[in-house]
Amino acid sequence: MAVQPLPCDDGGGSGPPPTPVCCAPAIAAQPLCLPDGAAVLLVVRSGCVECGATPADPQAIGWINPQTGVFTPGVVPAGAGPCDGGCSTVTTVQLCDLLPGGGCTPFLRHLVRDCAGAVTTTLDTALDGTTIYPVSGTAGNCAACAAGCVDTICVQRCDDTDGDGQPDATYSELWCVRADGSAELVLTYADEPAVPYVPVSPMECTYGCPESQTLMLCDGSGPFLRRYVFLNGAASYTDVALDGQTPHVVMGQVGPCPAGPDCDNPTTPAATVGLCLPDGTPIATIITRDCSGTVTQAGWINLATGLYSAGAPPVGVTACGESRSITTAGVFCDIDSTGEVVGLVLVEYSYNPDGSIASVRLVDATTGGTYTPAGTVTACPVGAEQPEQDLAVLCDTQPDGTVTAFLRDWRRDEIGQVVGHTDYALGGGPYTPTGSVGVCQPEPEPPCTSTHTLTLCDVAADGTSTPFLRRLTLDCTGTVTASADTTLDGVTPYAPAGTVGVCQPEPDAPCSTAHILTLCDVAADGTSVPFLRRVTIGCDGTVNSVTDTGMDGATVYSPTGSVGVCQPEPDTPCETAQVIALCDVAPDGSSTAFLRRVTIGCDGTVIATADTGMDGVTPYAPAGTVGVCQPPAEEPEPCRNTSTLLVCDLPDGGAPDPAVTDTDPTPYYPYPTGFAVAGGQTLWDGGTLNLPPGTAPQPGTTGSVNSLAATIAALRPACDTGTAHVTVSVNAQQTGPDNGCGPTGHLRLFIGTTQAALTVLPANTPVGWFGTLTVEADVPAVDLAAGNVVVALALDAYDDSPATCTPSPRRTGWQVSAFTASVTYDQSGCATQFLRNVTTDCETGAVVAVVDTTMDGAPYTVTGTAGQCEAAGGACCPPPEPECPQHLLHECRWDDTDGDGLGDTTYLELIQVDGCTGALTSLGTYLPDLTAAYTPVAPTAECPVEGAPQASAVRARRVQLGPGGGGAWSAARVPLLQSVTATAHGGTGRISTVDGDTTLFPGESVTWSVARDEDSMLVGPLTITAQTGTVTISYTQGVLL
C-alpha cells in the first residue's frame, strides 16, 4: 500500500523543484542482523511524486543502527537477515511529547524486543522515521490531544460486589480534562481498558479520602493551576495561582496554554510487525491513522527485501518466535508469619512458542524490580491496599524507628515499564528519602482497651487546689496507653501547674490543743472566787482562744477582780507547777518529743521553766522549732481503679503440623493399570517429582497409571469435639509429549480405605496444562491421631484407546510439586471463660495487681493461652445498687448462618458489668454499626482469622435547611448521635425538645453533646426546622471503621 505523501523537498538539485513535490514519511520496521550479529532497522518509504498524483509503492531506502541512531542510505549490507531465526521483533508506536506548556508533538518510538519479549533497545524518531527526535516533555498517549483532552487522569476506585458493605474489588476511571478546564469520565475498566467495567456498588477506598490531580491551564490573565478532586465518580476543582496557595479568579476563556498545532500531518503511517511468512521471512503490515483516528490497511512489506505488496498478507502468516507476549497477573500480597502484609507483588509470565509457560518472575508492584518474598505470596486479604497505577504512598523509616509517609509518582513508558520516579511530601512539596523506603505498615490496633476517668487535684504552692479530670486509656494487660487532662466539663483541655494528687477532704478538726487552768477572781476585799479558764493553743504554739467558765465547765464566767492563781492555805508554797509535752521540730520536718516543766508564781506569772527528756530527768535543749506535738500523719488510703474483663482460657494444640509418610498405593488404586511410583516421599516432603510418560501399558491392559499414597497423622490436643478438618493440595503440570485421553488423573482423601473427598483433573488434559489440586474433608479425630487418614494421587502415563482418542496411544508425563497438608482439630466449647480483675494506680496508671477468678469469684489459674472470648457468654445478674458504677462492654461475636460450623457474619453483643459485684448482664445483640437489633442463627466460637478488632471513630456531618419550613432535622434519624449544633442565618428557626417548642433567633447557635464516657449517644426528642431564615446543623455520629 502506498502511503499518502506530504509536501517536502525532493532532495535533488540546488534550486527549487519545478513543481511541488511530496514524499511519504519513512518507517523503521522489522530488525535485521548483519553477519557480525549487529542489529539494524530497515527503513522503507514511498517515493517522492508530484503533489496530488498517485503515491508510489514503498521502497527500502536505507537502514538505522539503533545503538547510535545513525541513518545510512542505500541497500542493507549483504548477508543481513532475520535475527535469531526471526525471534527478535520491533514494534513502532506513535506517541506524543506532552510539553510542559500543554502542547503535543507526535513522534515515533521503535521498540526492539529479544526472544523473551524484553525490550532491548528503544529509538525515538520524527514522523519521517529517520530523524532522531529528543523528547523534551513527557511521552504519552496521543489520545489526550486528538480527543480534545489536554490531559488524561486515571483514578482508582473500590467496589462492593457481594453487598457486605466492604470493598472487595478495584477498578479504574479514565478522566478527560478538556481545554476549557472541565473534566469528563470517558472510560471505566477493571484490568483491561478494552473491557468496560460496570461497578455494582462503588465505595470509598480510604474512608472518603479523595484523589486529586493538578493541571496548569491558561485564561485571559495567563497560566494558573486547576486542582481536580475525584470522589465517588464526581469531579470538582479549585483554581489557585502558580504558588499553589493564592486563590485565582478566572479572567476570560479557560484553555490549554499556547502550544503547537494539534495535528501537523494529515496522515501518520505505522508498521505492524512481529509476523513471519511460513519460511520465516519477517514482514510488516502498513497501516495509516489520520488526524481523526481512522485506521486503514491495504498492503505489506517484505522486510528482508524491502518490496511492497498490495492486499492482505499471504495465507500461513504466523507470529514470529513467541506466540504470546509477556503478561502479568493481578496484585498479590507477601504475608509474613505474623500475618502482616510486607509487600505487594505482581506475577510476570513468559511463554514458549507453543503457548506453555517458559518462566515466571515476581515483580515488586511499587518499583517494577524483581521481588524476593519474605513470607508467603498469596491472595491479598480484604482491605489490603493495592498499588496505584502511577502514585503510591510509601514510608521513609529512619534507624530510630521514625516513619515519614510520602508520595512516589512513577514514570512509565508506553508498555508500562517503570523508567523513573519523583518523590513528594504529602503536602505536595518535593521530598528526598533519607532512610529505608518501603510499604507503609498500619499501626497495630490494641486487641482491646478500656477508659477510666479520675478526679484529681492540682495543688499550688500556697496550698490551694484545683480539681480536674484525667482520662486514662488501658490495654488488655492494664498498661496505660494514653492520658488526657480536662477541666470538670470533660471537654476543655487542662494543664496542671502544681503537684497532682488525690483530692483531700476538709480536715475533721483544727490542729490545736486545749489546756484547762483553775484560777481565782480576787476581789478588793481579798475574797476570791475560783473559776476555770480554757486556753486553746494552735499548731505553732500560739494561743488561739481563751474561755472562762464556772467550776461546772459550762456556765459562762466574767472575772470582776484581779485574776491570779488561787492561793493555798497558809504555810503552803504559793506557786504551782505544770508539765507539758512539747515537740522539737527540725528543718527537715522530723520532730523530737520532750517535757517542759512550767512553774507559775502566786500572781500567775511564769517564774521558771525546765526541759527534760521524756523520762522527766535527762536535761534536754531544743534545737529546732518548739510546738505542740502533732499526731503522726496517717498514710492516705491509696487511690486505686479496678477493671474487670471477660477473658477466655483458649486451648492449645488445635493446629499441629501433620506427619505425611509414603505408603503402598495399591489399596487406594486397586486396578490392574496401576503402577506404584517409588520415591514418593520427595513429593510429600514438599519437593518436586517428575513422572516420565509411559512407554507401554501394564500387562494385560491398554494403559498405565502412576499411583502414589501417603498416611497423614497429627498429635491430638487435650480437648476437642472429636472431629478434625484435613486439607491437602499439590501442583501438577502435564509435560507431554501427547495430550491426555479422557480422564487423566485425580487426588483423593481416605479414612481407612473409605473415600472422603475427591478432585479430578480436566478430561483430555492438554500438554502444558498446570493447576493446583485440592481436597479437604472432616475426619474423626481418633483416625487422624492414629494415622488412618490417607492421601492418594493417580496420574495417567499411557493410554491406548483408539476408539476414543486418535491418534493413539497417548503418552503423558507429569511434574508434581508444592504438596501441602494442614489439619485443624475442632475445639469448639474447649475455651473456659474467666474474669480478669486489673487494679491500676489512679495517678500513674501503673498496674498494681492482676487477679483471675472464675465467673463465681473463685481463684482461677490459666492453663492455655489467655485471649479474647469468641463465643457469647455471661449470665444475668440482679439489679446493681444505685451507688455502684456500671460499665458497658462491646463484644464482637460470630454467627454461623450457612451451617458449616464456621462463623461468617459478625454482630455486636452489649454486656453490662456491675461495678460492685463484677456480674455480667447481656443487653442484647445488634448489627456491627448498632443501627438495628440482630438475632443470631447459630452463635459459634469458630471464627475466621481476623486482624485487630474494628476501631470506632466519630464522623462529622452537616446539613442546611432552607427558609419557609424547607425540611426538618430529627435526632431520632441519626444512630449514635454524639453532638449537634444549630445556627440561624438571616432569620429564625424552631427547636422542639421534651420541654416544648422554642425560637432559634437570627445569629443564635445552640449545642448539645454527650458529656460522659458512660453516655453512648445523645437522644431526643430533638427536632429542628427553619422558619424565616436558613438553619445550618452540624453534628457528629459514632461509626465503626
Q: How far apart are CA 968 and CA 990, in angstroms?
A: 10
pLDDT given for residue 758 in this prediction: 92
pLDDT tens per residue, range 382-395: 555 554 445 778 89
Domain range for 377 is 327-439
| In a domain? residue 824 | no
Residue 137's closest CA among 146, 155, 150, 148? 150
Asked if residue 370 is part of any domain, the answer here is yes
pLDDT at 752: 93
pLDDT at 715: 93
E-assigned strands of 971-1041?
977-985, 989-993, 996-1000, 1005-1009, 1022-1026, 1030-1040
Assess whether 132 and 182 both reside in one domain.
Answer: no
Please give the residue that has the higher pLDDT: either 3 or 494.
Answer: 494
E strands of 781-885, at which residues? 789-799, 810-825, 832-841, 847-853, 865-867
295 SS3 class: strand
Question: What pLDDT is stored for residue 922 in this prediction?
Answer: 86
433 backbone dihedrals φ, ψ, rounded to 5°: -65, 145
Region 1001-1030: what's the mean pLDDT? 84
| Weakest-pLDDT range from 64-73, 591-600, 721-730, 980-989 | 64-73
- Rounded-to-integer distance, Cα 716 and Cα 304, Å: 72
The number of domains in the chain is 9
Say if 799 falls within a structural domain.
yes
In this model, does residue 302 exceed pLDDT 50?
yes
Claim to verify: residue 575 and residue 673 sit in the same structural domain: no
CA–CA distances in Å: residue 401 to residues 266, 397, 398, 614:
59, 6, 5, 65
Indicate whether 616 belongs to any domain. Answer: yes
Question: What are 778-825's pLDDT values in tens digits?
Answer: 999 999 999 999 999 999 999 988 888 888 899 999 999 999 999 999
Residues 1019 and 917 in one domain: no
* pTM for this entry: 0.30
Asked, for residue 584, whether it belongs to a domain, the answer is yes
Closest listed residue to residue 152, CA positions, set 140, 139, 136: 140
The C-alpha cell of 39 is what? 542489529
Q: Is 427 helix (H, G, I), strand (E, B) or coil?
A: coil
**Cβ atoms of 369 and 363 closer than 8 Å:** yes
Whether residue 520 lies inside any domain: the answer is yes
Kindly state the cell numbers that stand for 895.
454467627
When comparing pLDDT for 29 and 633, which is higher? 633
Cβ-contact 28, 40 below 8 angstroms: no
221-260 tens-digit pLDDT? 888 888 776 655 566 778 888 776 788 888 777 877 764 4
- Please state, rounded to an integer, the average pLDDT across all residues of the chain: 78
Nearest-angstrom CA–CA distance, 181 and 226: 8
Q: What residue has cell string 521471512? A: 281
Q: What is the pLDDT of residue 271?
A: 57
Average pLDDT over residues 597-610: 79
Q: Are residues 608 and 666 in the same domain?
A: no
pLDDT score, position 599: 81
* The predicted structure's pLDDT at residue 477: 61
Grid cell 487552768 in the structure block, residue: 517
pLDDT for residue 493: 93
**Of residues 218 and 728, more confidently modeled:** 728
pLDDT tens digit sequence for 14-55 = 444 444 455 655 555 556 777 776 777 777 776 666 655 666
pLDDT-derived band of residue 209, with 50, 70 and 90 as boundaries? very low
762 with 666, same domain? yes
C-beta of residue 795 within 8 angstroms of C-beta of residue 735: no
Q: What is the DSSP letter of 18?
A: S
Going by pLDDT thresholds of 50, 70 and 90, the confidence category of residue 751 is very high
pLDDT, greater one: 544 or 527: 527
Do 747 and 808 lie in one domain? The reply is yes
907 assigned to some structural domain: yes
Least confidently predicted of 298-302, 365-369, 884-888: 884-888
Three-state DSSP class for 862?
coil
pLDDT band at 79 (very low <50, low <70, confident <90, very high): confident
pLDDT of residue 416: 52
Q: pLDDT exceeding 90 applies to what percent of the chain? A: 20
Say if residue 588 is in the same domain as residue 732. no
Do 490 and 454 lie in a common domain? Answer: yes
Give how far the C-alpha of residue 504 lies from the chain's centroid of Cα atoms, to the nearest Å: 47
**Residue 79 covered by a domain:** yes
Quick one: pLDDT at residue 6? 44
Q: Are residues 676 and 808 in the same domain?
A: yes
Q: Judging by beta carbons within 10 Å of its beta carbon (0-12, 13-18, 19+), is residue 181 exposed, middle or buried?
A: buried
909 vs 152 pLDDT, higher one:
909
Are 837 and 898 part of one and the same domain?
Answer: yes
Do 840 and 767 share a domain, yes or no?
A: no
What are residue 452's phi and psi, to 5 degrees? -130, 135
Contacts of 606 (CB under 8 A, 6+ apart): 598, 599, 600
1001 and 861 inside one domain: no
Beta-strand ranges (E) seen in 618-679 are: 625-628, 640-650, 659-663, 674-676
CB atoms within 10 A of CB 237: 19
